Amino acid sequence: MAADAMPAAGPVMVQVRADAPDAAAQIAAGVAGCDPALVLIFGPPGPAFEAIAHGLRARLPARCTIAGCSSAGEIGPQGYVTGCAVAVGFPSVSFRAQALVLRDLPQLPVSDWMAELRRMPAAFGVDPRRNAFGILLPDGLAGKEDVLVATIEAALPALPVLGGSAGDGLEFRRTMLIADGAVTTDAAVFLMVETDLALAEVTFAHFSPSDTLAVVTAAVPEQRLILELNAEPAAAEYARLTGIAQADLTPTEFARHPLLLKMGKRHHVRAISGTTPQGGLSLLSAIDTGTVLRLGRAEDLIHGFAEALDRLPRPPLMVLGFDCILRRLAIERAGLTDAMSDIFTRYRIAGFSTYGEQHSGMHVNQTFVGLAFMPPDPADPAGAADAA
């Protein structure tokens, strides 16, 4: 049967212990049957994960693009896991992919990135009869996601792009980016992907704004630091607003009481990663002096998420998911880990816990961002679906 006449095939998920001595061989064997055009790999940072990256390049065909990043936890075939390498193989019968490494994030060489991104479609040879999308995997510690997504949006305005920031558990020390067996940091991996499957974006955030306002009266934008809220030391004022002792502020408490920024008609989280020794707040997204924030309140974690997935036009073959680590912490505190894992399993969601999510030209936090792959709609030759 000719390749263009073969039936569409969905992605394949593989999960192994990251420290298994034969982890790369297990993953390669698990995806080999789908003849992958692209393999995405997510796992805990360290020598074992680096060995997997090198081992996969040696075991998979040269025409297979290999990309991925370190995580703050993984989402595998059975839901939330830790200490595992989760791989997703995208079969060549339904997918094509090309990777670009955007380097030197601290220096922000935006003009160079723009030129590289604009050359990509011609080199890739996008087929207008198929659906194209982008995946962005930035270093979550470099703090440059806002500039990255704006650059990609300007260079490739017609391409839907989503992704997640590479993580390091709750250590916030070092992340790893993977592109074709090479491991790097202070960079972002950008993938242009094409498929004949139908696509739908799924986004979900489990919070709403309260009436409690806080004005950023002093900040260090380039470091994503709030020094003062309401003209008071930021950590102390946040503790007062939430009713939590400053000494008891932890990532779990930050997840329960997010700071929200209104953009257009929607509120987006400006997530807190920690406090500074000087009493400031470190954020995972851009912030500036004069910004007006609202204290958020967490709402339903489970049912709204399931309802968002239920609104997909057809059951997904798989959903590639980027889920903020702060959502995971909130779910764990609420004792809902098994319930959320059941949803992940039911809808075949695979991906990782992130230091931030990217979609619709924005960098956000405390959000689930996913891309559902579905069989083509017989009534729609293009096979595309609206976002859920």
Domain residue spans of the chain: 3-204+303-374, 207-298
- Single out the residue of 178, 209, 4 nearest to residue 96, CA to CA: 4
Which pLDDT value is given to residue 181?
A: 83
**Per-residue pLDDT band at 5 (split at 50, 70, 90):** very low
Strand partners, 320: 350, 371
| Interval 129-143: pLDDT, tens | 999 999 999 999 999
Mean pLDDT of all residues in 267-279: 91
Backbone angles phi, psi at 102, to 5 degrees: -95, 105
pLDDT in tens, 219-246: 999 999 999 999 999 999 999 999 999 9
Whole-number Å distance between alpha carbons of 283 and 275: 9
pTM of whole model > 0.95?
Answer: no
pLDDT score of 268 more than 60: yes
Residue 388's pLDDT band (boundaries 50, 70, 90)?
A: very low
Q: What is the pLDDT of residue 375?
A: 94
Order of strands, sheet of 188-195, starting from the edge strand that comes earlier in the sequence? 95-102, 188-195, 131-138, 161-164, 357-359, 362-364
Is there a contact between 86 and 74 (Cβ–Cβ < 8 Å)?
yes
Name the token pair of 20. Answer: 């298994």
Q: Are 178 and 63 in contact (CB under 8 A)?
A: no
Nearest to 120 by CA among 138, 107, 135, 105: 135
pLDDT at 8: 65
Give the chain's count of helices (H) and strands (E): 9, 26
User: What SS3 class is residue 303?
Assistant: helix
pLDDT by residue (tens digit) across 76-93?
999 999 999 999 999 999
pLDDT above 80 for 6: no
Q: What percent of the chain has pLDDT over 70?
A: 95
Mean pLDDT of 365-369: 93
Token reading at 77: 């075939």
User: Residue 245: what pLDDT?
Assistant: 96
pLDDT band of residue 377 (cuts 50, 70, 90) is confident
Buried b (16+ CB within 10 A) or exposed e, 213-223: ebebbbbebee
Chain centre to alpha carbon of residue 276: 25
- Compute the average pLDDT of residues 330-350: 95
**Alpha-carbon separation of residue 166 from 177, 320, 337 (angstroms):** 7, 15, 22
Instruction: Give the start-end residues of each E strand in 139-291.
Output: 161-164, 177-179, 182-184, 188-195, 198-204, 207-220, 225-229, 232-233, 259-263, 266-269, 272-275, 281-283
Q: How many CA atoms within 13 Å lie on the side-chain side of 188? A: 34
Q: What does the pLDDT average to over 26-39?
A: 97
State the Cα torsion 270-368-156-187 to the nearest 10°. Answer: 70
CA pseudo-torsion sign 188, 288, 158, 3: positive
Exposed/middle/buried for 245, CB within 10 Å: 0-12, 13-18, 19+? exposed
If pLDDT is split at 50, 70 and 90, which confidence band does 4 have?
very low
Q: What's the mean per-residue pLDDT of the chain?
A: 92
CA 3 to CA 174: how far, in whole Å? 42
Residue 59 vs residues 45, 65, 95, 330: alpha-carbon distances, Å? 21, 12, 20, 39
pLDDT of amino acid 101: 97
Q: How confident is the model at residue 386 (pLDDT cuts 50, 70, 90)?
A: very low
- Residue 2 CA to residue 137 CA, distance in Å, equals 34
Token pair belonging to 322: 């980027």
Report the pLDDT value the prediction gives residue 324, as an integer from 0 to 100. Answer: 94
240 Cβ contact list (under 8 Å, min separation 6): 232
The answer on pLDDT for 249 being more than 90 is yes
Q: Residue 9: which pLDDT band, with cuts at 50, 70 and 90?
A: confident
272: tokens are: 């807190």
pLDDT value, residue 158:
94
